[in-house]
Amino acid sequence: MNPKIKNICCIGAGFVGGPSMAVIASKCPNINVTVVDINHKRIEAWNDKNLANLPIYEPGLDELIKKCRGKNLFFKTNIEQAIFEADMIFLSVNTPTKETGVGAGQALDLRWVEASARQISKFSTGNTIVVEKSTLPVRTAETVKSILISNKDSKDKKSNPKSKSFSVLSNPEFLAEGTSINDLENPDRVLIGGDDSKAIEALENIYLNWVEPQKILKTNLWSSELSKLTANAFLAQRISSINSISAICESTGADISDVAEAVGMDTRIGNNFLKAGPGFGGSCFKKDILNLVYLSNYYGLEEVASYWEKILDINNWQQKRISEIIVHKLFGTLSNKCIGILGFAFKANTNDTRESPAINICRDLIEEGAKLKIYDPKVNNLQIDLDLKNACISSNVEYNNDSWLIENDLYKTANNSDALVVLTEWEEFANINWQEISYIMRSPSWLFDTRGITNKYIAKKNNINVWQVGV
Ligand code: UDX
Ligand code: ADP
C-alpha cells in the first residue's frame, strides 16, 4: 500500500529548501512541513514577524509564508525531532565545489549531504522516504543509501530502537531564483528518479495536488541526477554562446539584440536564455559544469570534459573583457576615479550574490585603483563587504576602507561618479532618469550597461557616453 505522507521534514532552509517547502505547504494543507537548519540565525529570520526580514528575497514568497507559517509550515532548529516525526525527508543542504583533496576545484563537497544522511539514519523511525533535492553528482543516491543502511543497525541507534527502512529518491529542483515561486507552482516538469515504486507514488501524490500528471516524469536514479546536471549545462552553454557572439557584434557593428531575436525565432532554437550579459552567476551553473567535467574525466572522456570546460572559460573571459573595456574607455586608468556599480546580485529579483559576475568585475576595478560606490536594491551590505573582501584576498588584490562604499540609493551612487556600470538587470535601472543623472555625474560621464537594459539613446542625448554589451 502506498504510504500516506503526513509529516515532511526538509533539511536545509536555503534558496531551494525555503521556497520549495513553502509551496508544498501551501498546496497540501493536510501535510505538516518542517524545515530545519543548523544555522540558527537563518531559522530565526524565517520566523521573523516582519516578513521583510526573511533570509531570502523572492517575489511572492512572503505571501506564502504569511499564509502557511505556524499552520502547516514550521521553521525549526531541532533537527533530530523533525527527522523523528517525518515520513518523508527532503535533503536541501548546500553542495559547493570541493576546495581541497581529491577532485578539488571540480567535484562536489558532499560533507553536508553525508552529515544529514547520518542524522537521518540515527533518528528516523519506520519507513522513511529520503528525497534528494540538492544538485548532486551522479550516483550520490547510492552513497546516501549505503550511509542510511550501514548506520541503521549500529549500536548508535540506542536513541531509537524501532526497526526502520529507507527509500531514496532523486527529485532535482529546477527552480530559478527570482521566479522560484512561479517555477514551483507551474513547473515545466517534475522529475522523480528511483526504483521503489511505492515511494515514487508517495512523492508523485504530493505533486499531483497541483501538477498535471503528464508533467511528472519517472526515471531511474542516475538518469534523474544526470538530467539536472545536463539541463544546467545546456542553459549555461546558451549564455556562453550568446556572450561569445556579443563580442563579435561589438567588433562588426551587428547588434546582439537583433541577432538574438533573429536566432530565437527559429522554433528549433527558441527565444529564451539568449540575453547577452556579464556572464552567468548563481550557485548552480559553474558548480554543475565543474561536476560534469569531473565526471567526464573520471570516466576517461577527456574530449567531453574539455568541451564543457570551454563554457566556463568563455564565462570568465566575458567578465574580464568587460572590466578591460571599462579601464580602456576611461583612458587606461581608474586611479582617483569613482565608479558607481548598479546591481550586485547575480540576477534581478533575488538577494543572492553567489558567483555573481559583479564580484569579479568589482575586484578588477578595485585592482585598477577605482573607488566604487555600490547600490543593489535587495542585497545586504554585509554580504557585499564579505564577497568583495574574499575576492580581493583570494586574488591578492590590495584594498582599503576607501575601496568601496555601499549606498542605498541610485542618485547617491551616481553623484560625482565618472561612470555607472549596470551589472544586474533590476527594473529600476531600466527606468533611470538620465537627464537628472547627467547633472550629478562628473564629466566626461560614462554608462557601461552590461545587461543591455538602459535607454542608451536618452543617456547619449544627455551627454553621457554609452557602452552597451553586444552593440
Ligand atoms: C539556474 C537554472 O535556471 C535552474 O533551473 C536551476 O534549478 C538552478 O540554476 P538560477 O541560477 O537561479 O537558475 O537563475 P537563471 O535564471 O538560470 O540565471 C543564471 C545566470 O544566467 C544569471 O546570472 C543570469 O543573469 C544569467 N543569464 C540568464 C543570462 O546572462 N542571460 C540569459 O538569457 C539568462
Ligand atoms: P541552496 O541554494 O542549495 O538552497 P543554501 O546554501 O541557500 O543552498 O542552503 C543550504 C542550507 O543547508 C544552509 O542554510 C545550511 O545551513 C543548511 N545545512 C547544511 N548542512 C546542514 C545539516 N547537516 N543540517 C541542517 N542544515 C544544514
Give the DSSP letter string of 256-297: HHHHHHHHHTSTTT-SSS----S---SSSHHHHHHHHHHHHH
Residue 173 CB–ligand 1 contact under 6 Å: yes
Instruction: Return the best residue to mutate from 57, 246, 261, 280 for the ligand 1 pocket (most ligand atoms within 8 A of CB).
Output: 280
Residues 395 and 359 sit within 8 Å (Cβ to Cβ): no
> How many whole angstroms from 173 Cα to the centroid of ligand 1?
13
Q: What's residue 1's pLDDT?
A: 42
Residues 11 and 93 sit within 8 Å (Cβ to Cβ): yes
Ligand positioned closest to the Cα atom of 18? 2
Ligand 2 residue neighbourhood (C-beta within 6 Å) = 11-17, 36-39, 42, 79, 92-94, 112, 115-116, 134, 283
Instruction: Return the best residue to mutate from 184, 227, 239 for the ligand 1 pocket (most ligand atoms within 8 A of CB).
Output: 239
Ligand positioned closest to the Cα atom of 183? 1
Q: What's residue 4's pLDDT?
A: 83
Is residue 120 packed enough to be buried (19+ CB in 10 Å), middle (13-18) or exposed (0-12)?
buried
Residue 175 CB–ligand 1 contact under 6 Å: yes
Instruction: Name the amino acid, one letter, at 424.
Output: T
Ligand 2 atom 5: the closest Cα is on which residue?
Answer: 14
Mark whether 9 is an active-site residue.
no
Q: What's residue 157's pLDDT?
A: 47
Q: Which of 9, 28, 68, 284 is labelled catalytic?
A: 284
Other C-beta atoms within 10 Å of 444: how many? 13
> How many whole angstroms from 79 Cα to the centroid of ligand 2?
12
> How many whole angstroms from 174 Cα to the centroid of ligand 2?
17
> How many whole angstroms from 435 Cα to the centroid of ligand 2?
45
What is the mean pLDDT for each group of 10 consecutive residues in the chain (471 residues)?
82 97 98 98 98 96 98 98 97 89 86 92 93 82 85 54 82 96 98 96 98 97 92 98 98 97 98 98 95 94 98 98 98 95 98 98 98 97 98 97 96 98 98 97 98 97 98 97
> How many whole angstroms from 370 Cα to the centroid of ligand 1?
29
Please, what is the Cα angle at 88 between 82 and 89, to 5 degrees?
60
Other C-beta atoms within 10 Å of 420: how many? 27
Rounded to whole angstroms, how far apart are CA atoms 182 and 180?
5
Phi, psi of 219 (to 5 degrees): -140, 180
Q: Which three cell numbers stand for residue 133?
A: 533535492
Rounded to whole angstroms, how far apart are CA atoms 417 and 397?
22
Q: What's residue 72's pLDDT?
A: 98
Going by C-beta distance under 8 Å and a sequence separation of 6 or more, which residues neighbour residue 11? 17, 36, 37, 79, 83, 89, 90, 91, 92, 93, 116, 119, 120
In ligand 1, the atom with minimum distance to the C-alpha of 232 is: 2
In ligand 2, the atom with minimum distance to the C-alpha of 42 is: 14
Rounded to whole angstroms, how far apart are CA atoms 179 and 183?
6
Q: Which three cell numbers stand for residue 215?
A: 508533467
Rounded to whole angstroms, how far apart are CA atoms 144 and 161?
21
Ligand positioned closest to the Cα atom of 172? 1
For the entire predicted model, the pTM comes to 0.95
Residue 371 CB–ligand 1 contact under 6 Å: no
Nearest to 215 by CA among 239, 184, 190, 195: 190
Q: What's residue 106's pLDDT?
A: 85
Residues 92 and 14 sit within 8 Å (Cβ to Cβ): yes
Instruction: Return the best residue to mutate from 189, 235, 316 for the ligand 1 pocket (most ligand atoms within 8 A of CB).
Output: 235
Rounded to whole angstroms, how far apart are CA atoms 187 and 206?
14
Ligand positioned closest to the Cα atom of 10? 2
402: DSSP letter: T
In ligand 2, the atom with minimum distance to the C-alpha of 17 is: 4
> How many whole angstroms from 131 Cα to the centroid of ligand 1?
24
Residues 315 and 237 sit within 8 Å (Cβ to Cβ): no
Q: What's residue 160's pLDDT?
A: 54
Residue 287 CB–ligand 1 contact under 6 Å: no
Q: What's residue 146's pLDDT?
A: 86
Q: 3-class DSSP state for residue 191?
A: strand
Ligand positioned closest to the Cα atom of 314? 1
Nearest to 244 by CA among 232, 253, 235, 256: 256
Rounded to whole angstroms, how far apart are CA atoms 458 and 433?
9
CA–CA distances in Å: residue 41 to residues 45, 46, 48, 83? 6, 9, 10, 20
Instruction: Return the best residue to mutate from 177, 257, 292, 359 for the ligand 1 pocket (most ligand atoms within 8 A of CB).
Output: 177
Residue 426 CB–ligand 1 contact under 6 Å: no
For residue 357, cis peptide bond before it (omega within 30 degrees of 0):
no
Rounded to whole angstroms, how far apart are CA atoms 362 and 370?
9
Residues 13 and 35 sit within 8 Å (Cβ to Cβ): yes
Nearest to 58 by CA among 279, 378, 275: 378
| Cell 574607455 belongs to residue | 329
Residues 371 and 402 sit within 8 Å (Cβ to Cβ): yes
Going by C-beta distance under 8 Å and a sequence separation of 6 or more, which residues neighbour residue 176? 183
Ligand 1 atom 10: the closest Cα is on which residue?
Answer: 176
In ligand 2, the atom with minimum distance to the C-alpha of 135 is: 3
